[in-house]
Amino acid sequence: MTTPNNGDTVTIDYVLKRTDGEVVGNTQEVGPQQVQLGSGQIFPAIEEALTSMEVGDQQSVAIASDNAFGPRQEALVIDIPRGNLPPEPAPEPGMALQAQSPDGQPMTLYILEVGDETVKADGNHPLAGEDLTFDVTLRDIKQAA
């Protein structure tokens, strides 16, 4: 039985679902993903599941919102004066904006509503507050040197 260890690079396929079963991401769109275990590239619960899997195995991993993208924070929903935005492209709901947080860190805001004077934008990750399930399939293991 060959299972991956910390430091190994694994190739995985996944389907990401909300608790209602809605698919919100998968590797069919982006192709198989390579991840080095122990590097913090994926959620710890998925790393833990992978270390017990062999190539070809599939496992469903449930991750509570607090261990995924965190709770939704209403303080991250803000109104931005339209004059603070560039005129082009015109803001539309769903559009992503790049901004700086008060501590200078880069962040992505997603436009929720566009008004005459302001734009309502959300700095939460789109899956914040959501419990998630990852259906993960282990495709390959490259052992660390």
If 0-12 CB within 10 Å is exposed, 13-18 middle and 19+ buried, where does residue 64 land?
exposed
Question: Kindly report the CA angle at 88 between 82 and 94, in degrees rounded to 5?
Answer: 70
Enumerate the β-bridge partners of residue 79.
120
Q: What is the pLDDT of residue 43?
A: 94
Q: What is the pLDDT of residue 63?
A: 96
Domains defined for the chain, CATH in brackets: 9-69+128-142 (3.10.50.40), 74-122 (2.40.10.330)
| Mean pLDDT for back-to-back runs of 10 residues, the chain (145 residues) | 91 96 92 94 94 96 95 94 88 90 87 94 94 97 89
Q: For 49-85, how does the pLDDT look when each residue is reduced to its tens digit (9 = 90+)? A: 999 999 999 999 999 999 999 999 999 999 999 988 8
Q: What is the pLDDT of residue 1?
A: 65
Q: What is the pLDDT of residue 88?
A: 86
Tokens of 123: 């700095």
Q: Which residues contact 7 (CB under 8 A, 6 or more apart)?
A: 36, 37, 38, 144
The enclosing H or E element of 30 equals helix 27-30
